Amino acid sequence: MRMFATAIVLATAGVANAADSVVTELVTDRCTVTMIETEDEAGEILTKEDQYPTAWRCKGNGPLFVYVLYNHEREEIAFGTGRRATTAYMRHGHFGGWGPSLEWRGKKDKSGRLVPVAAIAPYRWDIRNGDDENDREVGGDLAIIRLGKRKNETCIVAWVDTVANPDAMDIARKAADEGAVNHKCSPSRIPAYLGKRSPAR
């Protein structure tokens, strides 16, 4: 059901700002399943063998958990506690999925625990057009996500095209460290793209 490209490498060199960071895994196959799809699109009951997971709770940073929701070949992402998502679900819109890792950006407190103000989440797709193995659409973006204290203070700030920008992670880190904390989330505010864009997009 889900289509992914190879794992994106989160390089550690060339960080634009001296923020602290922690990288955690985001692979739904190793997360806790919170919802199973039991019906097909026509409303027919699926056999047990054909049922599949559509929502997961994944360990994040400290007390923060990552929630992933699958719907029509796309995934949405949210954050919350170990009990439930406390932010709205955020989506890319393109077929694909989140992961395989997530980088948390912020400052460490006196105990050495990272207090994140932003997260950088890769969204990837690898889609074959028809039966031709060589006719594929492969792409990906990094989402810079502001992590606020309230539900309406967590949102996607910007995107970075990982195909068009070899330094996509550096661009994303700079945006996360310098702009995310002061970003004002609004439903009417469309996340901008930073850096270059792939010609087909």
CA 138, distance to chain mean position in Å, is: 17
pLDDT of residue 159: 98
Which residues have CB under 8 Å from 78's CB, separation 6+? 66, 67, 69, 85, 86, 87, 88, 89, 90
Which H/E stretch holds residue 169? helix 168-178
Higher pLDDT, 9 or 197: 197
Average pLDDT, the chain: 88
Which tokens sit at 143? Answer: 């989402």
pLDDT of residue 6: 33
Distance CA(136)–CA(164), nearest Å, equals: 17
Distance CA(175)–CA(157), nearest Å, equals: 9
pLDDT of residue 7: 35
Confidence of residue 16 (pLDDT cuts 50, 70, 90): very low
Which tokens sit at 42? Answer: 């026509």
User: For 199, what's the count of Cα atoms within 13 Å in the CB-facing half-sphere?
Assistant: 0
Question: What percentage of the chain has pLDDT greater than the value 70?
Answer: 89
Assign residue 14 a region: left if phi > 0, alpha if psi is -120 to 50, beta otherwise? left
pLDDT of residue 18: 57
Rounded to an integer, the average pLDDT of 13-37 is: 83
In the chain, where the domains are located: 20-194
pLDDT tens for 35-65 read: 999 988 888 898 999 899 999 999 999 999 9
Residue 187, preceding peptide bond in cis (omega within 30° of 0):
no
pLDDT of residue 14: 36
- Which residues are 91's β-sheet partners? 76
Lowest mean pLDDT among 46-50, 106-110, 188-192: 46-50
Distance CA(83)–CA(4), nearest Å, equals: 28
Residue 133 in this model has a pLDDT that exceeds 80: no
| Residues listed for the chain | 201
